[in-house]
Chain A
Amino acid sequence: MLSVQGINVFYGKGIHALKDLSLEVGQGEIVTLIGANGAGKSSTLNTISGLVRPRSGSVVFRDMDITKLPAHKIVEAGLCQVPEGRRIFANLTVQTNLELGAYLRKDKAAIARDMQRVYELFPRLAERKQQPAGTLSGGEQQMLAIGRALMSQPQLLMLDEPSMGLAPLLVKEIFRIVQEINRAGTTILLVEQNARMALSIAHRGYVLETGRVVMTDSASVLAEVDEVRKAYLGG
């Protein structure tokens, strides 16, 4: 479904953030990118969603080359990212945030139906419909960010560190919902620092270190490998 081939990304003068990075995501999968801070996980997602331009390499989504498309066109192609740090529109209401998620869609009835679905998935958001999103708690903001992305009806949903700054119980809840979204048919590419939790719901995983893929395998295998632990806590 998504195929990233040998992308190289540079920041400023000479910071080589991604080095010949390649990865594949198949239809219906949950794939996770794990690795320590600064390994290039977010850069990978930002490159796929068009916020960052790779110097070389290609990104192909459902047989369409999206390497050079602007970010808003990539959303149109069916690929939506929940950015790191949630990035909700804090000054707008919960409802308006969700409406903006459906910005490109014109089918009013279907939008209303999806909005209903999001509220069912996250009942807490339904209670806070008319509140400015900035007044939500961290966990609720994360739910809103996911819900907002779902409103664009993505084929592939990319999540960047959904667990960041959330209490463990909430993290569990968020991950359960991610699993639920996947079961309902959305493919998922998940970037996480919280490796165990990510591997426990993913099918496959890639381990990143300083801008490179150092290992890739099924999630159950990665969960047992010592290298993953080392990548985080040092050897």
Chain B
Amino acid sequence: MALLSTESLSMTFGGLRAVSNLSLQLEMNDLQGLIGPNGAGKTTVFNMLSGMIKPTTGKVIFDGEDITNLPAHQITQRGMARTFQNIRLFGSLTVLENVKIAFHRHVTYSFMQALLQLNIAHHEENITRSAMDLLDVLGLADRAHHQANNLSYGEQRLVEIARAMATQPKLLLLDEPAAGMNPHETEQLMNLIGKIRRDFDLSVLLIEHDMNLVMGICERITVLDYGMTIAEGSPEQVRANPRVIEAYLGEEVV
């Protein structure tokens, strides 16, 4: 059974069709790319999957359950996490605090216990330890006590990934994880994404403009243009597809 599938998913903004009739399929442990030129509707797809916006029509099935109309936090609780294209860290908090917040799903103590600090010390210690472990995996341990805003762009993107990982997802949505990274950082990111998928046994769906990254690590790629799927397949198939070349490079006027 597919981990994620969408059925004729569409989104219309004030008469403009941002996404139309999208059908995505993602299996367990897949690493899939979602690409397309600027304005093709990729982020809109992520927003619909993660519950940030409600699709105009269509369905999202995740892990055997219809999650189309669930609020964002419930979708996260069911095991889907995402990062944001325009980085949405909790800027004035430290990196460690950012990640600790993301362990929210696993907090078991009550409001009353929190107010009175009753038996929460070991819970808190566990959360801190898990958060540090995660930062270690992403190579951010030495940044744990830095304010998130003061990190470099590349590091901020990594913190976003760490934070998404902390919700312990089955499916990770990465929105342009390499944007603003230098080639060296991008290379490291590629290795990291592969490693995360193996070690944490999860599926990844990523939007990315850096074709080296997408072609380098994705097994399957879906290409969107004008909100429609124009191609699907392995990196080689997609790269050779004339419609894709046209969508990216365009055709000549004369």
Q: How far is the CB of A133 from chain B (nearest CB, A)?
A: 13
Report the count of interface residues on A (CB-CB < 8 A).
34
Q: Which residues of B contact A138 (CB under 8 A)?
A: 16
Q: How far is the CB of A18 from chain B (nearest CB, A)?
A: 13
Determine if B103 is an interface residue (Cβ-Cβ < 8 Å).
no
Q: Flag if B253 contacts A201 (CB, 8 Å).
A: yes
Q: Which residues of A contact B212 (CB under 8 A)?
A: 234-235
Q: Flag if B245 contacts A167 (CB, 8 Å).
A: no
Determine if A164 is an interface residue (Cβ-Cβ < 8 Å).
yes
Determine if A15 is an interface residue (Cβ-Cβ < 8 Å).
yes
Q: Which residues of A contact B2 (CB under 8 A)?
A: none
Q: Flag if A197 contacts B39 (CB, 8 Å).
A: no
Q: Out of B153, B215, B249, B253, name the residue touching A15 (CB < 8 Å).
A: B153
Residue of B nearest to A197 (CB): B250
Bound: A197/B210 CA distance, A: 21
Quick check: which of A44-52, A71-79, A94-102, A172-180 contacts chain B, the rest being far away? A172-180
Determine if B248 is an interface residue (Cβ-Cβ < 8 Å).
yes
Determine if B191 is an interface residue (Cβ-Cβ < 8 Å).
no
Q: How far is the CB of B222 from chain A (nearest CB, A)?
A: 16
Q: Flag if A164 contacts B249 (CB, 8 Å).
A: no
Bound: A210/B14 CA distance, A: 34
Q: Flag if A196 contacts B249 (CB, 8 Å).
A: yes
Q: Out of A13, A193, A196, name the residue touching B38 (CB < 8 Å).
A: A193
CB<8 Å pairs between A and B, sample of 30: A14-B152, A15-B180, A36-B210, A38-B180, A134-B14, A138-B16, A165-B38, A165-B39, A167-B226, A168-B246, A171-B250, A193-B37, A193-B38, A193-B248, A194-B37, A195-B249, A195-B250, A196-B249, A196-B252, A198-B250, A200-B253, A210-B183, A232-B211, A232-B248, A233-B215, A233-B239, A233-B245, A233-B248, A234-B210, A234-B215
Given contacts A163-B250, A234-B212, 7 further A-B contacts (CB under 8 A): A13-B150, A14-B153, A38-B180, A161-B38, A167-B226, A197-B252, A234-B239
| 8 A-B pairs closest in CB distance | A234-B211, A194-B250, A200-B252, A165-B39, A197-B250, A37-B209, A234-B212, A196-B249
Q: A residues engaging B (CB < 8 A)?
A: 13-15, 36-38, 134, 138, 161, 163-165, 167-168, 171-172, 175-176, 179, 193-201, 210, 229, 232-235
